[in-house]
């Protein structure tokens, strides 16, 4: 379970790259480090000696910025693959939230890959974790080598039931590296939502993971390694008709700072989607303000509120290039509809909800 710091609104997820020595784990991290924009990543720290590149481990922190007001961080680790470094491997696995298993596709390395996989299962058990309890993504690396086994042979040994999401990769060329990371991050965030109701919507997750680069279908297979679970482009989502006026309260830093009214109206478009307009007239700190924004439908977000499962429609600024702070709206379509807004303010997020209620978001 990722570490959630409610006071600092921070979620930290630990991802471990596991696998046999010289399989390509460090190469994965190097490629990620080289491709994620600098503002989203820290330094790649490799604890290694000159004699042995894989003596200790590598560490790479990634910062995905805000997801629903929570700063989301991923910490990537590799383990030393050599059989005799099991104590270090076990230690690195402590508190793991997701695993990328990097298998070496070469026939001569099959036994090492399989041994490493079972070693991983054993080490997880030391922490009372069964394999199904942690997201695991398998990466079949070194697909470029002539000695690489056919995918089917590797699968038979490492993923016979197809339980794990899997990718082919040529880590040295960056092929399959992002896709693998994306998949494990996405699985972690989905699980996080099921357990803690913090992040859920696929598109919101996708947007965050966008900085890892898009899956380029076709181009991967052209170089001989296609993702076996390629994602397709998200379809245009059609939201419901929403027509709401709500007397609302503005909260900032946990304190009520103003009130006013917000409205949401809907306009159908020829392509079958709906367009939304969000407008607000309110007073914050005794100063009158107002705004009008075009919004687009993102999807549904389910979360637990006071012990009951509720569904919210999520709207986001349609004009993403706007210089104004992006607003996210959550609309609960109940008998008495409720609208919640969240947007970054001067110092911390501004939360808006129905008058007389603590904002849920």
Choose, by CB under 6 A, the member of 21, 98, 258, 353 that binds ligand GDP.
21
Among Mg ion, ligand GDP, none, what binds residue 314 when CB lies within 5 to 8 Å by partner kind?
A: none
Choose, by CB under 6 A, the member of 10, 66, 144, 300 that binds ligand GDP.
144
Q: How many residues bind ligand GDP (CB under 6 A)?
A: 20
HSE of 46 in the Cβ direction (CA atoms, 13 Å)? 15
By CB under 6 A, residue 27 contacts ligand GDP: yes
By CB under 6 A, residue 142 contacts ligand GDP: yes
Nearest to 92 by CA among 34, 45, 141, 27: 45
Cβ at position 28, least distance to ligand GDP in Å = 7
Nearer to ligand GDP, 123 or 200 (CB): 123
Nearer to ligand GDP, 146 or 218 (CB): 146
Nearest to 97 by CA among 29, 15, 166, 163: 15
Nearer to ligand GDP, 28 or 248 (CB): 28
- Within 306-345, the residues that bind ligand GDP by CB under 6 A are none
Choose, by CB under 5 A, the member of 26, 119, 187, 274 that binds Mg ion.
26
Q: Draw the binding track, 67-96, toward ligand GDP (x: CB under 6 A; -: no contact).
A: -----------x--x---------------
By CB under 6 A, residue 48 contacts ligand GDP: no
Cβ at position 78, least distance to ligand GDP in Å = 6
Nearest to 18 by CA among 135, 132, 127, 152: 135
Choose, by CB under 6 A, the member of 136, 170, 188, 314 that binds ligand GDP.
170
Distance in angstroms (rounded) separating the CA atoms of residues 269 and 318: 14
Distance in angstroms (rounded) separating the CA atoms of residues 68 and 328: 8
Contact 46, 26 (CB under 8 A): yes
Cα 313 to chain centroid distance, Å, stands at: 20
Report how far apart, in Å, the C-alpha atoms of 13 and of each of 4, 93, 121, 251 are: 9, 12, 20, 29
Distance in angstroms (rounded) separating the CA atoms of residues 160 and 149: 15
Cβ at position 120, least distance to Mg ion in Å = 15
Among Mg ion, ligand GDP, none, what binds residue 244 when CB lies within 5 to 8 Å by partner kind?
A: none
The β-bridge partners of 330 are: 314, 340
By CB under 6 A, residue 23 contacts ligand GDP: yes
Nearest to 265 by CA among 257, 255, 256, 275: 275
Residue 199: which residues within 8 A CB-CB, separation 6 or more?
Answer: 11, 67, 68, 70, 72, 189, 192, 193, 205
By CB under 6 A, residue 116 contacts ligand GDP: no
Phi then psi dihedrals of residue 179, to 5 deg: -60, -40
Contact 16, 93 (CB under 8 A): yes
Nearer to Mg ion, 49 or 308 (CB): 49
Among ligand GDP, Mg ion, none, what binds residue 172 when CB lies within 5 to 8 Å by partner kind?
A: ligand GDP
Choose, by CB under 5 A, the member of 28, 30, 54, 123 that binds Mg ion.
54
Q: Which of 25-33, 84-92, 141-149, 206-214 is the region at the interface with Mg ion (rule: CB under 5 A)? A: 25-33
Cβ at position 58, least distance to ligand GDP in Å = 7
Reading phi first (left if > 0) and then psi (alpha if -120 to 50, else beta), residue 24 is in left
Contact 33, 45 (CB under 8 A): no
Contact 17, 185 (CB under 8 A): no
Residues in contact with Mg ion by the rule CB under 5 A? 25-26, 54
Residues in contact with ligand GDP by the rule CB under 6 A? 19, 21-27, 53-54, 78, 81, 102, 141-142, 144-145, 170-172
């Amino acid at each position: 379970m990722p570490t959630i710091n409610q006071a600092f609104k921070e979620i930290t997820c630990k991802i471990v790259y596991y696998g046999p020595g010289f399989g390509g784990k460090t190469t994965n991290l190097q490629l990620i480090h080289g491709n994620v924009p600098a503002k989203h990543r820290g330094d790649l720290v490799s604890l290694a000696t000159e004699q042995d590149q894989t003596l200790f481990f590598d560490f790479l922190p990634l910062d995905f910025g805000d997801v629903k007001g929570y700063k989301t961080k991923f910490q990537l680790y590799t383990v030393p693959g050599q059989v005799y470094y099991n104590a270090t491997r076990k230690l690195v696995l402590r508190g793991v939230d997701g695993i990328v298993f990097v298998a070496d596709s070469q026939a001569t390395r099959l036994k090492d890959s399989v041994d490493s996989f079972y070693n991983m299962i054993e080490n997880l058990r030391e922490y009372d974790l069964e394999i199904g309890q942690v997201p695991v993504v398998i990466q079949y690396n070194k697909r470029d080598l002539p000695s690489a086994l056919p995918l089917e042979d590797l699968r038979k040994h490492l993923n016979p039931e197809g339980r794990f999401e899997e990718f082919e990769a040529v880590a040295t060329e960056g092929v399959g590296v992002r896709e693998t990371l994306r998949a494990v991050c996405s699985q972690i965030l989905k699980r996080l939502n099921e357990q803690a109701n913090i992040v859920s919507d696929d598109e919101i997750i996708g947007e965050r993971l966008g900085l890892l680069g898009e899956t380029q279908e076709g181009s991967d297979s052209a170089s001989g390694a296609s993702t076996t679970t390629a994602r397709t482009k998200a379809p245009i989502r059609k939201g419901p008709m929403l027509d709401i006026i709500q007397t609302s309260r503005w909260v900032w830093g946990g304190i009520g700072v103003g009130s006013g009214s917000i409205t949401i109206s809907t306009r159908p478009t020829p392509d079958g989607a709906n367009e939304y307009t969000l407008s607000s007239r309110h007073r914050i700190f005794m100063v009158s303000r107002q705004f009008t924004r075009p919004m687009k439908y993102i999807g549904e977000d389910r979360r637990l509120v006071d012990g009951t499962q509720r569904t919210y429609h999520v709207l986001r600024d349609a004009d993403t290039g706007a210089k104004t702070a992006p607003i996210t709206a959550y609309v609960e379509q109940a008998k008495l509809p409720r609208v919640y807004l969240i947007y970054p303010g001067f110092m911390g997020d501004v939360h808006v909800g129905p008058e007389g209620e603590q904002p849920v978001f």
